[in-house]
Amino acid sequence: MRNVPDSLLHPGKRNAWLAFTALALVLLALPFATDALLGRGWVRIADFALLYIMLALGLNIVVGYAGLLDLGYVAFFAVGAYCYALLGSPQFGLHLPFWVVLPLGALLACVFGVLLGAPTLRLRGDYLAIVTLGFGEIIRIFLNNLNAPANITNGPQGISMIDPIRIGGFSLGSTHELLGFTFPSVHLHYYLFLCCTLLVVFVSLRLEDSRIGRAWMAIREDEVAAEAMGINTRNIKLLAFAMGATFGGAAGGLFAGFQGFVSPESFGLTESVMILCMVVLGGMGHIGGVVLGGVLLALLPEALRNGAGPVQQALFGKTLVDPESLRMLLFGLALIVVMLVRPAGLWPSVQRRRELIADDGVVQQEQDTVYDSSK
Amino acid sequence: MTAANKALLELSGVGKHFGGLAALSDVSLHIRRGEIYGLIGPNGAGKTTLFNVVTGLYQLDEGTFTFDGVAYAHCKPHVLAEVGIARTFQNIRLFANMSALENVMVGRHVRTRTGIWGALTRHAAARNEERAITQRARELLRYVGIERPHQTLAKHLSYGEQRRLEIARALATEPALLALDEPAAGMNATETESLKALLQTVRASGITVLLIEHDVKLIMGLCDRVAVLDYGKKIAEGVPEEVRRNPAVIAAYLGGEPASPSSSGEEVGVEE
Ligand SMILES: Nc1ncnc2c1ncn2[C@@H]1O[C@H](COP(=O)(O)OP(=O)(O)OP(=O)(O)O)[C@@H](O)[C@H]1O
Ligand SMILES: [Mg+2]
């Protein structure tokens, strides 16, 4: 068993590289392929999918790692988005640059994360969910009503004509010619969001496998034991809230710059629930699963919206059910089915694999044990 | 010599109430550095409550306790872990969905420093610390005798292994006092024997041990001194043999048993 031929091991590594390169190429070519095959609207949907993935990964830190059920996560998204909108639009005539507003929004969201976290430290499970839900609603209601006596947020009308994302002199709001290719605005946003998503994935991966990540998971598994082992649960939980909120705030800033318009309507409870669904459906605490959940849940409603009409036409010759209402019906059904069939999520962290990919000596030992017991 | 004999943990007049129930009342005891101190008593006597008080999970209502000469009333559990009190739980409380190795690595948390920045950049110091954590955790798993792959999830370990994993996790915090709440519960004779050997090694390494146990044989064979709790009160304290012959203890703890103290003494057998 020890003499595993090298030829058996190396192809695995090469295959991994091949898969990696292929994935990179697919991701790079995706906006052009989508544009050509499905139309520009779908590139836009892909952009939103990336934003959702960022949000889901941020929430995954709070819910998946630290086990703190947060139903108001979209509030941080709102904070980031409004920070960008207020500082980069005609609303106050401020047009601060992107590289100032985005980090500022993330920082502000981080502060809000701590503000929300601090009073909820003693709460767990359902109680925490209720308080965070309330927090999310409070933020939305504030945004809705901060138009009087002094008009700050412009109330339900929201803020429009937000500055496009501009990096140096390069504005993502317009079409650019580069290296002989034409890059429309949605394509440019796609690449920016892709970079941000990869950064968030990287940060998540690094945090997961670290002293802090282990402390989060320890709290998730057993808070009392974690405390007794010397983990300052207050600080570590606040850190989880802060990190998650930071990602949410950054995604919010990108959202505002991309969409050019924000209103409180975009930050309702359904959004929070949607993001939570991505985390839970994909596989809580597992980055791959959360990304998958984000992709599926961002695309599925759109696919249903666009597909339900034509499919009905083809089957029955006429549209029987309004695609818009059918969309949510099928969506809910899909969620229920997935949770019934795969309660741990579509792609949960592969614990079995973790048990098998032990260091060499240990695998050997396990196999020996099996051998001994069969004698 | 004097340092070795000084009290490491000292409780004076400790009381803890739950509503009208006095789970602990006026308990005073001192545990010397380097000894194995047994805490026994019938079910519901308040042993676990005493553990919870000295590890900060419960706040005491009366009295004080000092550890290494410093008073620590109303302290958070993580502070007490940091000053060197580590414990295991009567009803095993492992991080079930983390690997055996990770469980012990969490124990190193309190003795390490890497924060967010170190986790993200993995600079040299962070990498070194992480390597040291892993290495120490592996050593401790071997030390307590867990032979399974270290990646096995804690919940997939056998009962005895889980108990020993809890000890490894507690040892990872580098405690001065290791408090074990019924570590032999549910173990068979061989496992108990190896647990006994392990605790002797732990003591030999300079760690003081506070042990709650119902297994009289283990207590008699292992402990330097024993205290007996009954209905939240300390009814006896001393070397095991003495305590076992104490009529109050027999009445409270062995009360129901027909055997006389001397005959049970022969049966159990004092160590060596
Ligand atoms: N959190 C609590 N709330 C209310 N009562 C409690 C609490 N913890 C312990 N008690 C009570 O305090 C008394 C002492 O309990 P404790 O768990 O300390 O006993 P013990 O000596 O550890 O018993 P055992 O040998 O069964 O483990 C019991 O009557 C128990 O019901
Ligand atoms: Mg108990």
Cβ burial of A164 (10 Å; 0-12, 13-18, 19+) is middle
Beta strands in A118-211 (DSSP E): 159-160, 166-167, 170-171, 176-178, 181-183
The pLDDT value given to residue B263 = 39
Beta strands in chain A (DSSP E): 88-89, 94-95, 159-160, 166-167, 170-171, 176-178, 181-183, 261-262
pLDDT band at A237 (very low <50, low <70, confident <90, very high): very high
Contact status of B83 with chain A (Cβ, < 8 Å): no
- How far is A220 from chain B, CA to nearest CA, in Å? 8
pLDDT above 50: residue A371: no
> Are B200 and B214 part of one and the same domain?
yes
User: Pocket of ligand 1, candidates B49, B87, B90: which has the most ligand atoms within 8 Å of its Cβ, to mutate?
Assistant: B49
The pLDDT value given to residue A145 = 93
User: CA separation (Å) from A140 to A77, A265, B120?
Assistant: 11, 8, 33
> Are B194 and B63 part of one and the same domain?
yes
Closest residue to atom 5 of ligand 1, CA basis: B18
pLDDT tens digit sequence for A48-90: 999 999 999 999 999 999 999 999 999 999 999 999 999 999 8
Number of domains in chain B: 2
Task: Give the range with max mean pLDDT: A52-61, A268-277, A338-347.
Answer: A52-61
Closest residue to atom 3 of ligand 1, CA basis: B18
Q: Ligand 1 pocket: which residues have CB below 6 Å?
A: B 18, 21, 23, 41, 43-49, 90
In a domain, A318, yes or no: no
> Are B257 and B202 part of one and the same domain?
yes
> Are B73 and B196 part of one and the same domain?
yes
More confident residue, A367 or A156: A156
In a domain, B89, yes or no: no
Please name the helix (run of DSSP H) or strand (run of DSSP E) that holds residue B22, with its range, or none: strand B21-32
pLDDT band at A180 (very low <50, low <70, confident <90, very high): confident
pLDDT tens digit sequence for A300-328: 888 887 877 778 788 887 777 777 777 77
In a domain, A125, yes or no: yes
Helices of type H across A60-124:
74-87, 98-117
Find the radius of gyration of the CA atoms of chain A: 23
Interface residues of chain A, partner chain B, Cβ below 8 Å: 203, 206-207, 210-215, 217-218, 221-222, 224-233, 239, 243, 351, 354-359, 362-363, 365-366
> Are B15 and B146 part of one and the same domain?
no
User: In which domain, by residue range, is A180 found?
Assistant: 43-287
The pLDDT value given to residue A54 = 97
pLDDT above 90: residue B232: yes
> Are B266 and B213 part of one and the same domain?
yes
B267: CATH: 3.40.50.300
In a domain, A237, yes or no: yes
> Are B73 and B195 part of one and the same domain?
yes
CA-wise closest residue to B23 among B251, B230, B214, B254: B230
**B174, B205, B236 - which closes a domain:** B174
In a domain, A215, yes or no: yes
pLDDT band at A140 (very low <50, low <70, confident <90, very high): very high
pTM: 0.89
The pLDDT value given to residue A318 = 77
pLDDT above 80: residue A364: no
**B125, B158, B174 - which closes a domain:** B174
**Least confident stretch, A2-16, A81-95, B13-27, B134-148:** A2-16
Q: Could you give the ipTM of this predicted complex?
A: 0.90
User: CA separation (Å) from A57 to A211, A217, A240, A247, A334?
Assistant: 19, 15, 12, 8, 22
pLDDT (average), residues B219-223? 92
Distance A42 CA to ligand 1 centre (A): 62
Number of domains in chain A: 1
User: In which domain, by residue range, is B151 found?
Assistant: 94-174
In a domain, A60, yes or no: yes
CB atoms < 10 A from the CB of B3, how many? 7
pLDDT (average), residues B109-132? 96
SS3 assignment, position A149: coil
In a domain, A236, yes or no: yes
The pLDDT value given to residue A11 = 65
In a domain, A334, yes or no: no
> Are B68 and B190 part of one and the same domain?
yes
**B174, B204, B231 - which closes a domain:** B174
With a CB cutoff of 8 Å and minimum separation 6, the contacts of B267 are B259
- How far is A364 from chain B, CA to nearest CA, in Å? 9
In a domain, A219, yes or no: yes
User: Pocket of ligand 1, candidates B18, B43, B212: which has the most ligand atoms within 8 Å of its Cβ, to mutate?
Assistant: B18
